[in-house]
Amino acid sequence: MDSTLASARGGVAAGVSREWTVTAGLLAIACVLGLLEATLPGVPFAPWLRLGLANIAVVVALALAGGKMALIVSLGRVLIVGVASGAIGSPAFVIGGAGALASLAVMWALARFGDVFTPVGWSAAGAVAHMLAQFVVASAILGSWSILMLAPVSMLLALPLGALTGTLARIVVSRLRIC
């Protein structure tokens, strides 16, 4: 198994166990941050925007072990927070899920370029993709494309928020001693 989480002494079994443990921990952190953020007010001049704190755990997962772990953390968070908040199956759940998938797809693609992009860049681009996907899905659900008028300003604001999330994730990764 070629994983940054696999232990040289413990072998493959210890590495797999450690990877699942880290994944579960990051999923729990993402859920707590997602639920916490849901209780916070939005940005004053754009109340529909959120900081994206739960995405810190997704970026950390992507940086530590790649797309598989990040996918589990991202989609697991969407499902668990959806159940916990009672939003599962609602339009908000569908819109949020689309944003999470778009964000992860963009971040995963950028992460594959190696050292060309950092977690800060992944997260900033992921935040923009998240916002764009949410607007497109919301427009489809509402049957009106007029809501897209808010997209340019929202995506512009998403860049620094995503960069902040990526910076926090980079700090977390630099301080972790997993192996």
- How would DSSP label each residue in 110-171? HHTTGGGS-HHHHHHHHHHHHHHHHHHHHHHHHT-SGGGGGHHHHHHHHHHHHHHHHHHHHH
pLDDT, residue 28, reads: 96
The residue written with tokens 């999330």 in the block is: 165
Query: The pTM is what?
Result: 0.86
Count of beta carbons in the 10 Å neighbourhood of residue 140: 13
Supply 65's token pair: 């072990």
Contact criterion met (CB below 8 Å) for 78 and 102: no
For the segment 84-106, the average pLDDT, to the nearest whole number, is: 94
- Rounded CA-CA distance 80/46 in Å is 26
Count of beta carbons in the 10 Å neighbourhood of residue 54: 25
For the segment 120-142, the average pLDDT, to the nearest whole number, is: 96
Residue 1 pLDDT greater than 50, yes or no: no
Q: Which domains does the chain have, with CATH numbers?
A: 11-175 (1.10.1760.20)
Q: pLDDT tens, 145-157?
A: 999 999 999 999 9
The residue written with tokens 């339009």 in the block is: 91
Q: pLDDT-based confidence at 178, cuts 50/70/90?
A: low
The residue written with tokens 């493959």 in the block is: 12
More confident residue, 49 or 117: 117
